[in-house]
A and B are shown apart, each in its own frame.
Chain A
Amino acid sequence: MSGLLRIPLASLPAPQTGDQNEISSLYELIDECCRSGVARSALLLTARKMPPHLIKPHHLRLAFEALEPLRHADRARSFDLADGSRAITWRGEAGSLLDRALTTLRHLLADDPAIADIAQIAPLYVLPRDADIMREALRATIPTAPEIILVSPRIPEKLDPASLQSLEQSLLQVNVSRFARHRRVWRVADNKKLEPAWDKRFLSVAELTATLLPNHDATADPWLYRRLTRTLDRRLLSLLAAPHELRAAGPLSLDLNIGTLLTPQFLHFDSALPAHLRGNLNIDLLPADILADPTAYIFARGFARARRYQVMIREVSLPLLLALDFKALDADLIELEFTPELMQHTELLPRGVRLVLSYSNHSGQIDSAAREFAAAHGIRLLAPRD
């Protein structure tokens, strides 16, 4: 039994029995909403809370049919849970679809005086705000099970061209919103407190690979990974260009390839960008990408400025501080990677451009050293990484 691990179910964060795939997917979706900040709503029709005289299969079928209009909402997904409950999630506002579903449910349950509010049977959750409450409600739908068996993880394989092609094809078909993530960049205010500056939006490559091409490491081959990022760029732009996606968003930044900036997909995103984000969106570019096609960089930079985007050169490490001519690059922002060695070479810090200090916040020591370094050199934008 080597490689197998027995774990009591109760200790798992997400349940794995009965309709375990369904409920696991629902848990994942809630987690994603929390990580990415992409708003969703969820309606949970709880079977065990139905009145005793209405729990026959045909009653439940009628109740489920009442929810059918919600399947037409944006990115609607339905989850059948192990205790007979059903959850429906969707993105944005369902408006009249939700009204129709709730009205039908109310009609079904109208004769039961014990049900004062339909929310007792079918609570509505707004994610990520109500994530904890919904997780708690879902926990109650899990039947108990003795134990499950997990197989110990295998070493992931390196991506090769064939698997990259397969991954790219899968990416064209899958809804990538579940892989959307955000990471906050902070500004040091005058009172020394941190306040949000903008959100970096990206797709989680690790989770996306784990889902679409399990047991592969997409980043192991650096150049195939760079190629993959082009497809990811297009998918991210298509996600963000969806109606309402950025309607309530604050300032943000996107890691993009220069080539992506000059594609029809970016032009589509640009035309869909809400007015309040014009001037509040950074395009983050890699130095190697710039030097692979410098004329395209100059062109893209001009285009970005014409459309009021700000250009940031990201992941600038100490050797690149020496190797790049920041005056000639003429970017709006430079993201420096903090390492303790940087403290010995402060004369290399670019002048006349806003700096963002990026550092790993795994270690409290690095975290405080980075923040001290930033304070000492007037760097007011901080980008801690997980």
Chain B
Amino acid sequence: MNAIPPPTGERLLADAIRRAQRSGNQQLLTLHLGSLPAPRPHHRRIARALLQDAASRHGGQIFPLRNNDLALLTTITDGKGGAIDPANLPATFAELFRADRPDPAGLTSIWNIETDQTEIFQYLQTLLTQEPQLPLCDEIPPPPAAVEDIASLLATARIGDLTQRQIAIEIAPDPAAPGSRGRIMRPLFREITFSVDVLESRLAVTGRASSDPYLFRHLAARLDPRMMEFVLTKMNIHAPGAPRLHINLTIETLVTAEFDEFARQCLDYGHRPGIEVPLIEACRDPDQFKQARDRVQNYGFPLIIEGVSPLGLRLANPGSFGADLVKLNWDKSLAVHATPEMIAAINRLGPERIILQRAQNEQAITFGLGVGITRFQGHHIDAMLAAARLKSCPEGDASHCTLRQCSERAAATSAATRRFCRNQPLLERGMPENLRQSPER
């Protein structure tokens, strides 16, 4: 005997609408959570609580739908019931989702049960043709002790396998063709980071440390000594023409004697690494940050504030912390919703002080150049450089390589991964000499 499948939200809603036609004065309010670019579990939880409140006060029923939309079938109200009056809920939701969806059009729909039946059933019919979305579940951060395990592993592990490097570039007008629209790309630095994903998968940690920003910052502080040791011993910073490195350190570390020793040794090798500090560290303790910044800059090292989201750039002025550069995270909302406020925030900081990081696609480069940003870092840059390397590699050297392999070898800090490349000098340089972009870009 086959079990009867449970009724879906769509079918329950369709039945409820048919019943509601008899009573009249009913409306269907639908919050299209499924249409958000990145719906999060709390979106659904809070929205449902507000809808539930409206349902309790004005009579109604909530229907969770397969694409994560939420529908409220309720009486038609006059809007005098405050923020959770069904008539006012579209405005309330527009305010709530302002950062996630600046344009509220299409976020909510209100249909009259008697007059808008065609639209309602068309909407439900469309839903039934779609695959159900996975429910939005909270990401469970690892227990604190898991961070201890990661830190312990790092104390003994071969660190080269657990780190990666990424090049940052500057796109500048081509001096060989002044007045034209041609540009050249110049390498700026290489950032060395720990791959926390690799660490977690090696330890089979439940939950991602990066999902808890506070545990992650604690872990970062524990990793600092190993990172400084790694740079001094494994990254050949004493070699002539070694590229400038950037590393992430916490402000607690920057005010210690260990950092002073690291800085002295770097200077002995003639190397001035860039030191990157996240914006939240600067905001957590501005006084300690100032102390750390002064020490870094007194050694002649550039100080970079990183981890600035587009919205963070609007809410804060990272330029006030006196860093040399600021890393702005690329996010497609930057291009889609490049509001005058956002452009003003970029201009307030100064595009010449910004590195657009996490540049994952061509859109990031186009946006950046459009607002005067010329420094970039991200997977799209990695792919562009890998393509340029493959193209300029002498015939035969690159014939066995794919774009992905070339990209991965360039990102590896471990010689074991890089050794498969037959053109090590080019791989180390990162890009061919005088790499030019086409004027169309």
Contact = CB atoms under 8 A, between A and B. Distances in A.
Q: Do A and B bind each other?
A: yes
Interface of A: 160-162, 164-165, 168, 221-224, 226-227, 230, 262-264, 267, 270, 286-288, 290-299, 302-303, 305-308, 317, 319-320, 322-325, 328-329
B318 interface: yes
B231 interface: no
Contacts of B97: 299, 302
Nearest to B251: A222
A328 B215 contact: no
A295 B311 contact: yes
Contact of A293 (B46, B213, B320): B213
Given A161-B144, A296-B42, A298-B99, A291 B316 contact: yes
Given A267-B49, A288-B283, A223 B221 contact: yes
B347 interface: no
Main secondary structure of the interface of B (DSSP, over half): helix
B280 A306 contact: no
Contact of A165 (B46, B144, B311, B317): B144
Contact of B144 (A224, A290, A296, A302): A224
B148 A291 contact: no
Contact of A299 (B46, B143, B217, B285): B46
Interface in B291-317: 309, 311-312, 314-317
Nearest to B41: A262
A305 B46 contact: no
B341 A328 contact: yes
Contacts of A294: 99, 309, 311-312, 314-315
Given A161-B144, A227-B215, A293-B213, A322 B317 contact: yes
B361 interface: no
B218 A221 contact: yes
A160 B99 contact: no
A296 B315 CA distance: 13
A272 to B, nearest CB: 13
Contacts of B214: 223-224, 226-227, 230
B286 A264 contact: no
Contacts of A162: 144-145, 148
Contacts of B252: 222
B337 to A, nearest CB: 12
B100 interface: yes
Nearest to A321: B320
B45 interface: yes
Given A262-B45, A292-B213, A294-B309, A222 B144 contact: no
Given A162-B145, A294-B312, A317 B99 contact: no
Interface in B157-216: 212-215
A298 B98 contact: yes
Give 4 nearest A-B pairs by CB, closest first.
A319-B286, A302-B96, A262-B42, A298-B99
Contact of A223 (B143, B148, B215): B215
Contact of B315 (A160, A291, A307): A291
A274 to B, nearest CB: 16
A261 to B, nearest CB: 9
Contacts of B100: 295, 298-299
Contacts of A226: 214
Given A162-B148, A305-B95, A262 B218 contact: no
Interface in B72-98: 83-84, 92, 95-98
Main secondary structure of the interface of A (DSSP, over half): helix
Interface in B405-425: none
B284 A222 contact: yes
A348 to B, nearest CB: 10
Contacts of A302: 92, 95-98
B280 A288 contact: yes
Nearest to B142: A161
Contacts of A263: 42, 45
A227 B283 CA distance: 16
A250 to B, nearest CB: 23
A299 B43 contact: yes
A227 B42 contact: no
Given A323-B286, A325-B317, A306 B279 contact: no
Contacts of A293: 213
B50 interface: yes
Given A162-B148, A262-B46, 12 more contacts: A222-B252, A224-B218, A262-B42, A264-B45, A298-B99, A319-B290, A320-B283, A320-B286, A322-B317, A324-B316, A324-B317, A325-B345
Most buried by A among B46, B212, B282, B289: B46
A339 to B, nearest CB: 10
B121 interface: no
Interface in B202-243: 212-215, 217-218, 221
A164 B144 contact: yes
A328 B42 contact: no
B62 to A, nearest CB: 14
Given A262-B45, A294-B315, A168 B144 contact: yes
A267 B47 CA distance: 11
Contacts of A262: 42, 45-46
A323 B49 contact: no
Given A303-B46, A303-B96, A288 B287 contact: no
Interface string B312-341: 101111101100000000000000000001
B285 A222 contact: yes
Contact of B314 (A168, A296, A317, A325): A325
Contact of A288 (B40, B49, B284): B284
B83 A306 contact: yes
B325 to A, nearest CB: 16
B10 to A, nearest CB: 26
